[in-house]
Amino acid sequence: MMDLTFLQNKKVLVTGGSGFVGRNFVEVLINADISVRITLHNQPAPFQHGVVETIKADLTVPRDCAIACEGIDYIIHAAGSVGNAGSIRSNLITPIMDNLVITARLLEAASLHCEKILIFSSSTAGYPPYTHPVREEDMWTASPAPVYFGYGWMRRYFELLGEYVASVSPLKVMVCRPTAVYGRYDNSGHVIPSLVRRALSGENPCVVWGSGDELRDFLHISDLVHGCLLLLQKGLSLEPVNIGYGKTATIAEVAKTVMRLAGRSETDIVFDDSKPTTIPVRAVDCSKAEKTLGFSPQMSLEAGLNDVVDWFRRN
């Protein structure tokens, strides 16, 4: 575990603290006895711990954002809507608008109250559809893939909002561009939790969307948390950093591994390329994170998938 003494005597706001990404941050901070506040909208409080304060807040409302930021030093902004290949096509405007409003309101409030904020851009959605490992400087060389047009530009605009707010206030804005993150507490429709649920439910055949040849850089949530806390510690304001595994695997390879870990046969898998998928390749260059943050992922894909299968079995 990394040294979190830089957060001693600080108070950290984790928005979306009851969700997949936020909850994993909160657990690490709790274990280091860091004072944490989380915002809740319609969700029940997931933590009962002395260092955790929970407040009800609608982060689309300026006053709620201001209250959430009062007395806060650092913010990890993990609240917002997420999508998968199907929802990107079917639910076009609402998640984009919700994410933009929440992030804009929070940046405004943070600029008046806080030292640092960490926001998440998106390497998968924001980058152009290149087949080489994308570097940070590739982001603005071309448009996002057509399938990510709305969602990708929304994620890019997060960075522009951050740049503007940092230019007119003392706030330091850290920008993480995560790759395809997976791990415990993820009950979304993303590929890995979907595969694990189907494998453990006994679905046969286990239908996987796409051809199975799609390449992705999958990063375990524990490594994302580690990389982002290093980024927060270093305080690299407006220096976007890719946080990824640095290696790719096909969806077919991941599906076969999940089936094996779930005690199922690989022959139970059927790929359906008539179902929606996104881009065929996403590889991420993580050399900047290694050089500037000293970051390298610690969880192998095999171990990470095993962790997810075990978590779903227990929950």
**Which pLDDT score is estimated for 43?**
73
Q: Is the pLDDT of residue 223 over 80?
A: yes
**Which pLDDT score is estimated for 47?**
72
The band of 253, judged by pLDDT with boundaries at 50, 70 and 90, is very high
Domain that holds residue 135: 7-185+218-245+284-298
Q: Is the pLDDT of residue 258 over 80?
A: yes
Convert the pLDDT of each residue in 33-49 to its tens digit.
999 999 988 777 777 66
- Report if residue 239 sits inside a domain: yes
Convert the pLDDT of each residue in 90-117 to its tens digit.
556 888 899 999 999 999 999 999 999 9
- Report if residue 151 sits inside a domain: yes
- Report if residue 132 sits inside a domain: yes
Which CATH number fits the domain that encloses residue 145? Answer: 3.40.50.720
**Which pLDDT score is estimated for 85?**
47
- Report if residue 108 sits inside a domain: yes
Percent of the chain with pLDDT over 90: 80
Longest dimension (CA), the chain: 58
Q: In the chain, which residue ranges form alpha helices assigned H by DSSP?
A: 20-31, 62-69, 85-90, 94-113, 123-126, 149-167, 191-201, 221-234, 251-261, 287-293, 301-314
**Which pLDDT score is estimated for 89?**
52
**Which pLDDT score is estimated for 204?**
93
The band of 1, judged by pLDDT with boundaries at 50, 70 and 90, is low
- Report if residue 260 sits inside a domain: no
Q: Does the CA dihedral 79-85-89-91 come out positive or negative?
A: negative
Q: How many domains does the chain have?
A: 1
**Torsion angle defined by CA atoms of residues 35, 80, 227 and 32, in that order, rounded to the nearest 10 degrees:** 20
Convert the pLDDT of each residue in 48-94 to its tens digit.
667 899 999 999 999 999 999 999 999 999 998 765 444 455 556 88
